[in-house]
A and B are shown apart, each in its own frame.
Chain A
Amino acid sequence: MSVLVATLVLFGAFLLLLFLGVPIAISIAVSALATMLLVLPYDQASFVVMQKMNSGIESFTLLAVPLFILAGNIMNNGGIAGRLIRFAQLLTGRLPGSLAQTNVMGNMLFGALSGSAVAAAAAIGGTMNKAQEEQKYPKGFAAAVNIASAPTGLLIPPTAAFIVYSMIAGGVSISALFMAGVVPGILMGLVVMVVAFVHARRYDLPRSSSPSRGEVARITLDALPSLLLILLVVGGIVVGVFTATEGAGIAVLYCLVLSLLYRGLTWASLQRVLISSVATSGIILFLIAASSAMSWVMAYTGIPQAISEALLSVSGSVIVVFLLMNLILLVIGTFMDITPAILIFTPIFLPIVTDLGMDPVHFGVVLIFNMCIGTMTPPVGSVLFVGVSVARTTIEKVAPALVPYLLALVVLLLIVTFVPVLSLGLPGLLGLL
């Protein structure tokens, strides 16, 4: 049985099931099982699938993901978003189109805290929408800015996406990944702000009035506990006072206490938060379980090496291979969500890029950056969908407005890919590499 046959069966079955609308986790598991059956008898294949589905999620580190999801959901309901928006307005209110700039800054702060692009797009974009309508912001523009900046929180720590990557990549340091995401994440926000600035001048959108000194102090003080959480959790993990999982546990406790103090959380909303966290965790854990069966069969049949050889036969040039890889990941990102994409493509691309001298931490940033862009693109983009729905408009109206942001972000992606110091500088400085 050749590698080629295995590759064709694995990806052929996977793509077929995927486009037929079979749940992604089941598409992954069934195509993995089909590929195993080429080389193993049924009882052994089902043994491996079940063993890997169990062991794939048997990880203390992985618990950080459900805990960060829980913390983010508590935050969503706990009156933290409004405080962050007022604080963001302090920082960006003097710019033309200040509401759009506030939206970007709000997404960066909220996304940093919650680690969820979708939650940021909904919470910040949803809250900003009414004011933007009142000030006659073009709908497509307002939604595009919200959508393009919502994924910054996937790069700015803490972020569950890096934890999933760290696990799949065989234990790449989470502290290093967290620090590596800081600069690219902030740059992503800045790029969106610059493009929005140009647009706002063209549309001649208004600035906000400057707040009084008393207001500045009050708003800052009000947002301080929320901002402190980032410092506490990320700082604690990076300095090594606690592990990522423990940091996530502390984040849950902190958000819970804060939300209770703000009276943003009722018993009924807490129940909703718990159940919705369980659903999200179940979806992600089940996906990871299924993917570990897939990566077993990929390793067993030698698929990553075969793809690596094929890629390198196109060109031995590092630049060409990295460009090709980004292209593939961008295409994948158009239709696949971030978690399954990390799960499926890390085992394939990581060995290739490390062979070519890319640091696994750097690759993690490049991979997540690609997927950030993927969440904004049709036909399938979770941030796109949420951003469009909170702006009460349609994908057709938003898509053209989104194009300049996407182009700018792709340029930034290439810069992040080919200038490793943007990712590795900060963790290197802190001695984490």
Chain B
Amino acid sequence: EDSTAATAEHPMVLSLAHSLGDTHPTSKAIKEFAEQVQEDSGGRLTVEIFGSGVLGSETEVIEQVMAGVLDMTRVASPGLGSYEEGFLTFGLPYVFEDEEHFYAAMDSPQMREFFGSTQKAGFVGLTYYTSGARSFYTRGTPVRQPQDLNGLKIRVQDFRSQIELMEALGGTPVVMAFGDVYTALQTGIIDGAESNETALTNSNHGEVAKEFSYTRHTMIPDMLVISTDTWQRLTDADREVADEGGARLDAGPQGGLAHRHRGVDSRWQGDGRHLCRGCRPRRLPQRNPAAGGPVLARASAGGADPAHHRFGPGIGGCRGDGIDPRQDGDDDGARLVGGLPADRHGVSRAVSGVHAVRAR
């Protein structure tokens, strides 16, 4: 049945699953989203949340959403890359110049159009969440430049794009479950990992990692997606409610989540004591060519197999570093890390979202 039949007495219940613990900031934001939707719909739509991964891993849950078993889920965006390649774009290093650029791009009409364009894949993007930029943290070696990663075993998320990224940077990627990272760091099975600051605090990795280097190499948003099935059963007004419920929370500096996250983020940056017990935060200049430049140079020059590790035209983030891959003069460069072709429909849409803001 569609949402026209829903009333405050017999509301349409939308199930939403995610894998985060109760205390995670995004988990709280999702709760606010649920309240917002209920309020805006006058109680005709309610959102039932299944947190802490009780219904399965992110991959399982997104499959359940696409099968119409669940209505909504929050997943890390590269996890959507198997179904819509455009989402792999967000896993690339330095696609976003800085946080301003990130928020401007993610809130742009072009990006919104991209989020709405994935109906065929079985889901529609409602909004994004961010926990800040990802940086390297290690047991002892500060990462000031890509060469510092040489010979270090770094845990990466199990996405092919992230493995290739690490190889391109010169480190040795190690795939393991996030839950094993603490022990692996403690015992030296790995030398480091990369994540945002919550890994040090919420997950206590700060107890065993002694260096946090603000490389800010990726800013990977999480996506809140709704099943195409469910989306089509919502009336236009209810779609607006669901969309706005999400949008209001991340809409720019004056409201909601993005702002709050940015606040949290800057507190972390401003005060190393919040990071961890005994961990030294290395503050690298965000656009330091020594940090960003060579990283991109390696990434775009392409590690082991140059043809497969290129930044395509239009994907930048390297402006001002003097290493613009667009000037590479090599037409073969139209592939991204992760074997991702830059000319596919979804990718070009995502890229146009990133790029449109840059052009302003």
Contacts and interface: CB of A to CB of B under 8 A. Distances in A.
A contacts B directly (C-beta below 8 A): yes
Interface in B147-181: 177, 179-180
A21 interface: no
A214 interface: no
A241 interface: yes
Interface in B263-306: none
Interface in B87-124: none
A48 B17 CA distance: 14
B8 interface: no
B79 to A, nearest CB: 14
A48 B69 contact: yes
Interface string A153-182: 000000000000000001101010000000
A40 B67 CA distance: 11
B179 A171 contact: yes
Interface string A226-239: 00000000000001
Contacts of B53: 170
Given A48-B64, A48-B69, A52-B56, A299 B180 contact: no
B187 A300 contact: no
A300 B60 contact: no
A51 B60 contact: yes
B63 interface: yes
A248 to B, nearest CB: 15
A44 interface: yes
B7 interface: no
A358 to B, nearest CB: 18
Interface in A231-283: 239-243
Contacts of A171: 177, 179
A51 B65 CA distance: 12
Contacts of A47: 64, 67, 69
Given A171-B177, A173-B183, A243-B180, A44 B67 contact: yes
A307 to B, nearest CB: 15
Name A's interface SS: helix
Interface residues of A, number: 20
B54 A51 contact: no
A240 B187 contact: yes
B153 to A, nearest CB: 14
A335 interface: no
Contacts of B68: 44
Interface string B179-206: 1100110111100000000000000000
B67 A300 contact: no
A185 B68 CA distance: 47
Interface string B224-261: 00000000000000000000000000000000000000
Interface of B: 15, 50, 52-57, 59-60, 63-64, 67-69, 177, 179-180, 183-184, 186-189
The 4 closest A-B pairs by CB, nearest first: A240-B187, A299-B54, A171-B179, A44-B69
28 contacts: A44-B68, A44-B69, A47-B64, A47-B67, A48-B64, A48-B69, A51-B56, A51-B64, A52-B56, A52-B60, A55-B56, A55-B59, A55-B60, A60-B177, A170-B53, A173-B183, A175-B183, A239-B187, A240-B183, A240-B186, A240-B188, A241-B187, A242-B189, A243-B180, A243-B189, A296-B55, A300-B50, A300-B55
